[in-house]
Amino acid sequence: MNVGVLNEGCKIENRVGLNPSGVSLLVEHGNTVYVQAGAGLKSGYSNEEYSDLGGKIVFTKEEVFGRSDVVLNISPLNEEECRLVKKDQILFGFHHLAVSRKALLEELLKKNVSIIGYEIVQDENGDLLFIESLSEIAGQMCLAISGQYLQTSFGGHGVIIGGVVSVPPATAVVVGSGVLARSAVRSLLGAGAHTIALGRYMDRLRELEEMTSGRLITLFASNYNLARMVKIADILIGAVLRPGEKAPIMITRDMVKSMKKGSLIIDLAIDQGGCIETSRLTTLEQPTFVDEGVIHYCVPNITSAVSRTSTKVLSNLVAPCLVEIGEMGIEQTLKEKRSLARGVYVFRGNITKKNIAERFDLDYKDINSYL
């Protein structure tokens, strides 16, 4: 099997689809890996590191798509990349089709592709395997981001997260109760923040309380409770995730207006549209903006800021899957690896997620009908 690794630097993406260790694993099992020159540089991997472990360096995206059966991307494919996709290719990456454009999706469907989205790969317990792993990183980053942007010199209202003797800690409000929320809560509590989580699933809220030995305050995420809690928040984290769907708006503009001036919003759901009405996409180069007097951090590829760690996590997850596909083929792998099957958006030109088909008014065929 031929596997292609794209250089996504032009999309302000620092991560890469495979690290040299992942390339080595695939080559050991008889696969050929084409790595676009410079793909790993922002994650600290040189072209020589890839070639020394058996990767073949190519110099254009056209070569990557033209030579590969499977193409690995991180950020969703852009128009140029969609045009380069060839018939029957398998595409692995963060695709976020729920917030994609219909024209791009239709172009890919015509090419009979199969699309596997890291963001919806899910085991039998409902755990999102890729998101779970990256959430550990994102949660720790929330702490670093908060510490920076609450500083007066960055426009924040000048509070320290953990407080000091005679001065109370910052108040962090986390909206959500899933994997993203869990990681953010763990990091903020560990730093000493007064932390409150609001969610709509009582079993998950109970798990959060048990995980924190009762140190976390939990509330049902009614509009009434949300409106009350955002008023006292120094840090507001949107951590609502619905796999494969557009994020619902949980925090309205009116709620944001009631927040303290110089407080901070981190919208971790921005990859899927954002869960805060005032949110809009930002980049790692220009990560923040101010709206209603509140600092907003809305970077979709947040873990790209720590690209080496994130790349290692992604590579450790995807490389074994690719080895199995190379040995057994895509159909047999999906039959035996049901978590990967749940991550299939499109299989051989047919949409396999009902919500995506309904959103774009396109035909739908369940993945199980193939397996």
**51-108 pLDDT tens trace:** 999 999 999 999 999 999 999 999 999 999 999 999 999 999 999 998 899 999 999 9
Work out how many domains the chain is built from and give that number.
Answer: 2
**Are 88 and 183 part of one and the same domain?**
no
Q: CA 266, CA 328: separation in Å to the nearest integer?
A: 42
Q: Show which of 254, 285, 300 is a domain's final residue.
A: 300
Top-confidence residue, 315 or 127: 315
The chain-wide mean pLDDT, for the chain, equals 95
Would you state the structure tokens that stand for residue 238, as one six-digit string?
């949107």
**Are 68 and 116 part of one and the same domain?**
yes
**Are 246 and 268 part of one and the same domain?**
yes
pLDDT (0 to 100) of residue 245: 85
| Angle, CA 326 vertex, CA 345 and CA 3 arms, to 5° | 75
**Are 314 and 294 part of one and the same domain?**
no
CA atoms in the 13 A half-sphere facing the CB of 115: 32
What amino acid occupies position 364? Y
**Phi and psi dihedrals of 251, rounded to 5?**
-115, 120
Read off the pLDDT band of 179 (50, 70, 90).
Answer: confident
Q: Show which of 300, 317, 338 is a domain's final residue.
A: 300
**Are 116 and 140 part of one and the same domain?**
no
Top-confidence residue, 123 or 10: 123
**Are 155 and 290 part of one and the same domain?**
yes
Least confident segment among 164-178, 186-200, 234-248, 278-292? 234-248
Q: Which of 256, 245, 260 is nearest to 345 (CA)?
A: 245
What range does the domain containing 215 cover?
Answer: 135-300
The predicted model scores a pTM of: 0.89
pLDDT (0 to 100) of residue 122: 93
**Are 262 and 327 part of one and the same domain?**
no
Residues that are catalytic: 96, 271
Q: What is the CATH number of the domain that holds 86?
A: 3.40.50.720
pLDDT (0 to 100) of residue 256: 98
Read off the pLDDT band of 178 (50, 70, 90).
Answer: confident
